[in-house]
Amino acid sequence: MIKVNNISKTYQIGSVGVQALRNVSLNIESGEFVGIMGPSGSGKSTLLHILGFLDRPDSGSYSFTDKEVSKYSDDELAKLRNNTAGFIFQQFHLLSRLTAVQNAELPLIYAGCRHLKELALEKIKEVGLESRALHLPTELSGGEQQRVAIARSLVNDPLILFADEPTGNLDTKNEEEIMSLLLKLNKQGKTIVMVTHEKEVAEHCTRIIYMRDGKIVSDEKTKPAQIKPAISPAAVLPEKECPSEGAKFGDHLRQAIQALVSHKMRSILSMLGILIGVAAVIAMLALGQGAKESIEKSLASLGSNLLMLTPGSHRAMGVAVESGTVTRFTLQDAEALTKLVEIKNVSPTVRGRAQAVYGDKNWNTQIMGTGINYPTMRASVPTVGRFFTGEELQVRQKVALVGATVAKELFDTANPIGMTIKINRIYFKVIGVLPTKGSTGWMNQDDVIVIPVTTAMYRVLGKEYVDYIDLEVKNASLMDAAQESIKDLVVQRHRLSKEKEGSFEIRNMNDIQQTVQSTTKTMTMLLGSIAAISLLVGGIGIMNIMLVSVRERVKEIGLRKAIGARSRDIMTQFLIEAVVMTVTGGVIGIAVGAGIAFTLSAVASWTTKITLSSVIMATTFSIAVGVGFGLLPARQAAKLDPIEALRYE
């Protein structure tokens, strides 16, 4: 079964090289029970680790069933440790968070055969622990723990067992029980290679090899062994009927969750950083999105494709004169502007403040006199009632439409349609209620009464000129041409000289909307970026915790590799742990962020809106953080050498 020829092994301890094996050669037949003895430092454990595929010699040849072991890849060696060899350790190396039967089934997981987990329970029964199968290692005696370790080594039905001081930590009674169990296994045909210090233990072996200073000084057979036929190389790496590699994800996930649950406080603290980061992202983006929609709603009241013609200031002999001193607009100007080919609708407007009275209630509000095209141009079609007609405008009819704020202050919950109010002691009939538009900065757009512009000018406010004229352009592509036509018409009608052409302004409301929207978008991105920094900090925290976890679990990693885990298995498990922490923290963070957003909306009356895109972004980012920052610790864990890991203190 085993042929070793002139193998040597040197360990580097600091700057000093210690030669553990010196040109060791031996053969081991199938079915033997070999005991390796010698003082501490003689090289017996090193030889056992090389024979058990846990270590490689520096030189020499080691063939297992006539195939050179040096030709095996790391993954093939892992498969040998999983399927062909079983290892029994002096320190037991059981995972404290797993029950006896769960510890025994670990090799099945790395063989992709967890669906055959009944085998683990069978082996637990064979070693006499059926009644203790669901107990944790801390609830078992030393002898019982070693029995679990033996069951674990047998679960994949290996060809050979390697035992490193299997009775070294046991009392006499448990020592006898463990040796009886090993003898029983040997009689059943298992080849056993055991390292021991104790002569009474070695007496059970059919062959004893004695070592000193890295060399074999004696090799004698003490009892006849039932030698089994030679094993073919094809039988060394048997293919079992097990799931594909992808089916192992569930096992890795279970292992990861068990590891996280066993260190609850550490896991919670790790999640906290991601939780805070995701909550901040959700709350900030909800606040930004809410502000954006609120502003867009306010901007919608400005209408689309709008130009506003207003009187402008002017300098005469270096002195600035009042706006409208040089150029004032009239209703006739508004009428003339309707004839421009680029213009669709025109609405002249005057403004002022007045006292509105209904019954015993009164309210000081803004009065707006507008044209009949105002509702379609300014998104102000009444929600209740109607707008005034062209005939009512022409005869200066005393009709009014009230905003939501005025309706509440004067009529409370009553229907204002048909009611009579006084504006500056003049009676007006309420014919409609304007749509709610909300506040824009310090201005409440719902605190307004709209009346015909002619009525406002000549009956209420006493104005001969309009304050500005709204113009709706037929198409957005005609905006520039419309501005030129308006300018030419105003200059022509008011006979303005070259130096007085700046005495009026044409404001493009689309430009204002785009500027405000761009600013809002920038602020939303800024808020999101600031919140994302906390996610980054949370990711760094997870990386630190995972690095600490790798250091704390070095022996566990060594054990997993010793029973057949490949480097990618270890890496996958640690990556899954990081991702589980970040995703869990992310999901809780989304809930907390939503709670913060709703609280701000309810308590501070801020407009907030949580979007699906922000939830997806936060979740994706948290997963990316888990993978990105979990990668380094996972790679470190995967690179650990099984022997160095098992020896780690």
Residue 422's SS3 state is strand
pLDDT of residue 420: 95
Neighbours of 604 (CB within 10 A): 9
Neighbours of 38 (CB within 10 A): 23
pLDDT of residue 234: 52
pLDDT of residue 241: 53
Distance CA 166, CA 246 (A): 36
Please report how many Cα atoms fall inside a 13 Å half-sphere around the Cα of residue 55, on the Cβ side.
23
pLDDT of residue 348: 95
pLDDT of residue 649: 62
pLDDT of residue 486: 92
pLDDT of residue 198: 86
Q: What's the mean pLDDT in 373-394?
A: 92
Is the pLDDT at 300 greater than 70? The verdict is no
Between 337 and 112, the more confident residue is 337
Q: What's the mean pLDDT in 615-633?
A: 81
Between 264 and 481, the more confident residue is 481
Question: Mean pLDDT highest for which of 308-322, 404-418, 516-530?
Answer: 404-418
- Give the fold, CATH level 3, of 2-243: Rossmann fold (3.40.50)
246 exposed, middle or buried (CB, 10 Å; 0-12, 13-18, 19+)?
Answer: exposed
Q: What's the mean pLDDT in 552-568?
A: 87
Is the pLDDT at 324 greater than 50? The verdict is no
pLDDT, tens digit, for every residue of 441-497? 567 889 999 999 999 999 999 999 999 999 999 887 888 899 999 999 999 998 888
Q: Which of 367, 364, 374, 369 is nearest to 306 (CA)?
A: 374
What's the DSSP call for residue 500?
G
pLDDT, tens digit, for every residue of 145-204? 999 999 999 998 898 999 998 888 788 888 888 899 999 988 888 899 999 988 888 888
**pLDDT confidence band for 321 (50 / 70 / 90):** very low
Is the pLDDT at 583 greater than 90? The verdict is no
Is the pLDDT at 243 greater than 60? The verdict is no
Distance CA 279, CA 600 (A): 13
β-sheet bridge partners, residue 320? 315
pLDDT of residue 247: 41
pLDDT of residue 579: 85
pLDDT of residue 582: 83
pLDDT of residue 435: 92
pLDDT, tens digit, for every residue of 337-346? 999 999 999 9
**pLDDT confidence band for 585 (50 / 70 / 90):** confident
pLDDT of residue 255: 81
Residues of the chain above pLDDT 90, percent: 35
Q: Are strands 448-452 and 361-370 parallel, antiparallel or unpaired?
A: parallel
pLDDT, tens digit, for every residue of 510-539? 666 666 667 777 776 776 677 677 777 777
Q: What's the mean pLDDT in 309-317?
A: 66
Is the pLDDT at 644 greater than 90? The verdict is no
pLDDT, tens digit, for every residue of 48-103? 999 999 888 999 999 998 889 988 888 888 888 888 899 998 888 898 888 999 99
Q: Which of 488, 492, 393, 408 is nearest to 448 (CA)?
A: 408
Instruction: Give ranges for CATH 3.40.50.300 in the chain.
Output: 2-243
pTM: 0.64
